[in-house]
A = this chain, B = another copy of it.
Amino acid sequence: MNKRIQNMADNRAKLITAARKAFAEKGYTGASMDDLTADAGLTRGALYHNFGDKRGLLAAVVEQIDSDMAMRAHAIGAKEQDEFQALLAEGAAYIRMALEPEVQRIVLLDGPAVLGDPSQWPSQSSCLQATRITIERLIAQGVIKTVDAEAAARLLSGAALNAALWIAASPNPQDVMPKAIEAFKLLASGLLKHDS
């Protein structure tokens, strides 16, 4: 029963899936809503009914990817014993994830350009929140210096983002990746109370 809400949820999922592909491949502006809805076996009518407009669709896609990223990063960080090592591991994980075209194109390039500051997205950027919480814990533990956790999280994620852009655009990503991660760890170590 309640076949309608079930169908609606299915169609929403279909549209988001098609949009992820279209946005990743052609970028936000380059993606045609007629094309991507047809790809999902629907029309623009469904899209506007479910998401309001093209931006709304992008917001839904971003939320999904961002939530995925936060889960993956958290899982990677959880493997580390040391909390600070977990922070570094999460950062490195973000850098690696940011190499995926879907993440880079949709979340890192078009997302901010179309939706504005990530901290004010509907999803409120799960990645950012996770990093901030980790930093707050490290401050409480006395491992890193007293600093505004939000600020530190923003700067670290920004550093990771640009590292990823650089790596992805470089002709030999495998070569520059370790340099970027090394630099990232160095910057992050600036937060430590005692030099390692």
A152 vs B162: C-alpha distance when bound (angstroms): 10
Tell me, yes or no, whether A189 is within 8 Å of chain B by CB. yes
**Closest CB of chain B to A135's CB: distance in Å?**
10
Which residue of chain B lies nearest to A29 when distances are taken between CB atoms in the complex?
A: B29
User: Which B residues lie within 8 Å of A168 (CB)?
Assistant: 117
User: Which B residues lie within 8 Å of A154 (CB)?
Assistant: 162-163, 165-166, 180, 183
Query: Does B169 lie within 8 Å of A162, measured CB to CB?
Result: no
Q: A169-B117, A169-B120, A191-B186 are known contacts. Are A155 and B151 too (CB-CB below 8 A)?
A: no
Tell me, yes or no, whether A45 is within 8 Å of chain B by CB. no
Tell me, yes or no, whether A56 is within 8 Å of chain B by CB. no
Query: Does A148 lie within 8 Å of B183, measured CB to CB?
Result: yes
**Closest CB of chain B to A59's CB: distance in Å?**
16
Query: Does B113 lie within 8 Å of A152, measured CB to CB?
Result: no
Tell me, yes or no, whether A179 is within 8 Å of chain B by CB. yes
User: Which B residues lie within 8 Å of A184 (CB)?
Assistant: 155
Tell me, yes or no, whether A119 is within 8 Å of chain B by CB. yes
Query: Does A169 lie within 8 Å of B116, measured CB to CB?
Result: yes
Which residue of chain B lies nearest to A180 when distances are taken between CB atoms in the complex?
A: B151
User: Which B residues lie within 8 Å of A151 (CB)?
Assistant: 163, 166, 176, 179-180, 182-183
The residue from B113, B187, B191 contacting A110, defined by CB atoms under 8 A apart: B113
Query: Does A109 lie within 8 Å of B113, measured CB to CB?
Result: yes
Tell me, yes or no, whether A158 is within 8 Å of chain B by CB. yes
User: Which B residues lie within 8 Å of A130 (CB)?
Assistant: none
Which residue of chain B lies nearest to A152 when distances are taken between CB atoms in the complex?
A: B183
| 18 further A-B pairs in the complex, CB-CB below 8 A; given A147-B183, A156-B187, A188-B190 | A28-B113, A112-B165, A119-B166, A119-B169, A120-B169, A147-B182, A148-B183, A150-B166, A154-B165, A155-B180, A156-B159, A157-B162, A158-B161, A161-B162, A186-B190, A187-B187, A187-B191, A194-B195
